Structure 1
């Protein structure tokens, strides 16, 4: 970073009066804080790293206090960075602002094969942090494990199932599998059943694995009760909404069985609880169009079952399917796996958490677009003239959301009482500049994309809300403030 760039960044921070996902402020007028380990760790563990700025005091209206000895601050920060594993290498910049010296330390993202970056003095489990908004939070044991599982290529799907025997696998399903193996994998078709099952991760030393039971078990939930799906139809657009009959769930079902059985039952549940629109084309022909594109839903359900985490850390967490009035949400335990990020979904090849389950289903599930994944979902939503899908990965949970036709109406004048109430709540909250994440948390909705499209855009268009950086609408420092408020 050049000194002039640091000056511009500090000007933005003082103007917005806030830290952010990638910015941490320290007063540090006489010396660097004794404890920077949490921030060094969290920035090293997040995409694109972060910047620590010394000499700006957030608790005094973001005033520029400067640092008395920039050289000493750099040395103190560097000393702490050397106590991280792997060692952190800050890049320092010094700039004079309002006659005072301000120092920045840029912390680069740690290579994926070396994550998590942690403070050696506390150890990996207690010294690893992750950035959440503008704070540094200790990683959960599962978050630490996720990095180690990828680095060490731990395959939880191949763990032998305790107390399971070959009698717990369905002979009919195994016979069907072998018949399809002969069609799709000729090299395996000449091998014995016992050897195929071992090579395909279905058994280990003659004992069924997690993958084996989930693919071919007679009743997998006898061994893993929570490796299932909970499917719910919510009465409104928010989880807390209640129907006219004082019911929170219009429909509620626990779906069990093998992966294929759960896939089929989930598709039936969604089909039963979604609407069909009748479209008359220009030739007078009648076509029924589902509320959500069938291929997109199919991909999401399959992806959740294939790519969920089957480790001991999440084995008690089911997949969740939530049908709201305006959207479909599918959540699976286990955030994004490996090197890919949310922004890269559908644009590059992703690492596979459960390659044996994925390989078996390529043989067992014959669909037109077998596991074509994210690009198919985007294409199907666009073809149906619906909003693009929204994908989120938050602290060990991956969520995919599809919005229906009702979400395309963005006119605040047509909003119902509930929506009008939410808009008023947003305007009240934005009496001072707020980020999208802060607004989402305040009104209790998880999807920033939905909040932006449904509420922020109409409020901006009606001039009830304004951006703090109107010339840079996509800036990561962007905040929103009620029009009548003064920054």
Structure 2
């Protein structure tokens, strides 16, 4: 940076009275600061790099104290950089004001193929740091591994599972998959079956792979109990809140099975738990159902989590989390974005693929197009319902997608409620009660353990609005009472 930029940066730091994600302040008034290794490592390991600013005293409210010796300071900072792997080459700038000298050292980011940058003497595991706010934190074992996995192109989706044999897999589903792959590659038909298994990732050197377990095992969780989805519906906007019955969860399930089976279960869980508002278009008289979330966006979100999550031994004890709050749906999977991909590039550039065998297999099974259209589809589906843009959050160890169900939009006069109701019908009772239904039938249909809670939250609002009518309106609690959707 030029002198004017350094002067502006000093003023900014003094104004804000704090360090930042990319700014570290050191006094250096009495000598070169010690232990710069941590900051050199953390700045080098983030995409934006960072800047060390010397000559402000944080303990004295960032007062301008100047550095002790410009030449010696730069020389020693360079010596620190030479003790890093890879070597860090700072870019220095100097600014003088009222006889005091200030120095900045810009630390460029290390290419992702060379990360993590670490203090050579401590080694990669002990000497690697990551920037968290204004602090330098030691990298976890997994964070170090995630860089190594990309650099060395580890293939965790085809790591061998020694305790299984091909005979332990679902032979019918496996045979169908092999047939599809033969149709894609005509020359596969001439190969020995064991050789073909190795080529398409069912086995590796004759040993069943993790991908084969996740796709063709009758019960993958027998071998990997946590490679599942924890689906939860909570009553408020944060975990731990209780509903009127004192329950923490409206619904909670562990979704298990193969990847396609878990995908279908996850979509069904959201469908069964989300609200669906019903309105009548006054111009056409047609009933319009507005779901809380577009299911194709939900499907793409869960599919991405299943095929792009980290399947290394470091994360095999971490399930995918699908959580429905009152205002949003969150899907979080172990493992951040893979390789060079950033959040801003999602859906715009062709990404590196963490699990190529799984992605190819899911494409052959008809579960995904593998054309990088998933993220754009999520975005368009949300926009089509007038919902907020999905939020993607990435860290080295976790990636999450947030779909919000409320948008701040002006009232639409063309969709005023008429003879049915604008009261949400999350469980589809209006369709279920087209034929008269007893209270017991409705409770069984809702499938909620607390019958009182189920009726009060899902049936009573529809009755109160007139959308569902009683057969015996004068005797609302009669055991002979039935409920039927009002005619529109």
| Same fold, judged at TM 0.5 (above) | yes
Map of 2:199 onto structure 1: 199
Task: Name the count of aligned residue pairs.
Answer: 409
Deviation per CA, 1:340-379, whole angstroms, max 9, x where unpaired? 1122222211111000000000011256786522121112
Map of 1:342 onto structure 2: 343
Map of 2:265 onto structure 1: 265
Map of 2:152 onto structure 1: 152
Return the alpha-carbon distance in structure 2 between the equivalents of residues 199 and 150 of structure 1: 22
Compute the RMSD of aligned alpha carbons: 1.8
Give the structure-1-normalised TM-score. 0.81
Q: CA deviation at 1:198?
A: 1.0
Map of 1:361 onto structure 2: 362
Map of 2:57 onto structure 1: 57
SS in 2 for 1:13: helix
* Contact kept in structure 1, 2:360 and 2:370, CA below 8 Å: no
| Residues 446-465 of structure 1: pairs in structure 2 closer than 5 A | none
* CA 220–369 in structure 1, closer or farther in 2 if over 3 Å, else same: closer
* CA 369–152 in structure 1, closer or farther in 2 if over 3 Å, else same: closer
Map of 1:71 onto structure 2: 71
* CA 266–78 in structure 1, closer or farther in 2 if over 3 Å, else same: same
Q: CA deviation at 1:54?
A: 0.5
| Residues 296-307 of structure 1: pairs in structure 2 closer than 5 A | 296-307=297-308
Map of 2:454 onto structure 1: none
* Contact kept in structure 2, 1:81 and 1:88, CA below 8 Å: yes
* CA 98–303 in structure 1, closer or farther in 2 if over 3 Å, else same: farther
Question: Which stretches of structure 1, 4 residues or longer, exceed 3 Å deviation after superposition?
Answer: 182-193, 279-284, 366-371, 407-410
| Residues 145-184 of structure 1: pairs in structure 2 closer than 5 A | 145-184=145-184
Whichever of the two has the greater Rg, that structure is: 2
Return the alpha-carbon distance in structure 2 between the equivalents of residues 189 and 384 of structure 1: 47
Map of 2:208 onto structure 1: 208
Runs of 5+ consecutive residues of structure 1 not aligned to the other structure: 411-487
Map of 1:326 onto structure 2: 327
Map of 1:22 onto structure 2: 22
Return the alpha-carbon distance in structure 1 between the equivalents of residues 93 and 371 of structure 2: 50
Q: CA deviation at 1:99?
A: 3.8
Map of 1:41 onto structure 2: 41
Return the alpha-carbon distance in structure 1 between the equivalents of residues 285 and 391 of structure 2: 34
Return the alpha-carbon distance in structure 2 between the equivalents of residues 355 and 280 of structure 1: 47
Deviation per CA, 1:310-329, whole angstroms, max 9, x where unpaired? 10100111111000000000
Return the alpha-carbon distance in structure 1 between the equivalents of residues 275 and 176 of structure 2: 35
* Contact kept in structure 2, 1:362 and 1:370, CA below 8 Å: no
Q: Does 1:394 align with 2:398?
A: no
* CA 183–276 in structure 1, closer or farther in 2 if over 3 Å, else same: farther
